[in-house]
Amino acid sequence: MSTTLIRGATILAMGGEHGSTPFAGDLLVEGNRIAAIGPGLGDRPGARQIDGRGRLVMPGLVNAHTHSGETFFRGRYERLPLELWLLYAYPLLMGPLLPPRLLYLRTLLLAMESLKGGVTLLCDDFFDPPRHDLDRLGTVFRAYEDAGIRANVSSAVMNIHPLDAIAYGRETMPVALQARLDFGAPISSAAYIDYCRSAFAAFQDKAGRLRFMIAPSAPQRCTPYLMQACDELARQWRVPFHTHILETKTQAVTGRLFHGKSLIRYLHDLGLLHSGVTIAHSVWVSDEDIALMGAAGCSVAHNAVSNLKLGAGIAPLRRLLDAGVTVGLGTDGVCSNDTARIFDVMRTAALVQSATGPDHERWVTAAEILKAATLGGARTAHLGEITGSLEVGKRADLIMLRLDSLAFTPLNDIVRQLVYAENGASIERVMVEGEIVVDGGRLTRINEAAVLAEIREAMPALMAEHAEIETRNAIFHPHFEAIHRRATAEEVGMDRYAGTRG
Ligand SMILES: [Zn+2]
AA identity, residue 352: V
Is residue 433 helix, strand or coil? coil
Q: Please give the distance, rounded to the nearest whole angstrom, from the Cα atom of residue 153 to the centre of ligand 1.
A: 13
**131: confidence class by pLDDT, cuts 50, 70, 90:** confident
Crossing angle for the helix pair 189-203 and 134-147, to the nearest 10 degrees = 30
Model pLDDT, residue 500: 53
What are the phi and psi torsion angles at 487 (to 5°)? -65, -40
Distance 67 CA to ligand 1 centre (A): 6
| Centroid of ligand 1 to alpha carbon of 88 (angstroms) | 15
Beta strands 277-281 and 427-432, pairing class: unpaired
- Bridge-based pairing of strands 435-439 and 442-443 is antiparallel
Average per-residue pLDDT in the chain?
A: 97
Rounded-to-integer distance, Cα 462 and Cα 467, Å: 9
Q: How far is the CA of 47 from the centre of ligand 1 (A)?
A: 42
Residues of 268-287 as b/e, b for ≥16 C-beta within 10 angstroms?
beeebbbebbbbbbbbbbbe
Question: Which distant-in-sequence residues (6+ apart) come within 8 Å of 208 by Cβ?
Answer: 433
Residues by chain with Cβ below 5 Å of ion ligand 1: 280, 332
Q: Output the CA 283–ligand 1 centroid distance in Å.
A: 13
Could you tell me the distance, in angstroms and rounded to a whole number, from the CA of residue 336 to the centre of ligand 1?
9
Shortest CA distance to 65 belongs to which of 154, 129, 160? 154
Measured in Å, residue 332 CA sits from the centre of ligand 1 at 5
Contact at 8 Å (CB) between 300 and 327? yes
Phi, psi (deg, nearest 5) at residue 4? -130, 130
Compute the distance from residue 244 Cα to the ligand 1 centre, in Å: 6
Please answer whether residues 219 and 266 qualify as being in contact, where contact means their C-beta atoms are separated by less than 8 angstroms. Answer: yes
Is pLDDT above 90 for 130?
Answer: no
Kindly report, residue by residue over 470-482, the tens digit of the pLDDT. 999 999 999 999 9
The whole-number pLDDT of residue 325 equals 98
56 touches 37 (CB < 8 A): no
Question: What is the structure's pLDDT at 239?
Answer: 97
- 393 alpha carbon – ligand 1 mean position (Å): 32
pTM: 0.98
| Residue 48 Cα to ligand 1 middle (Å) | 40
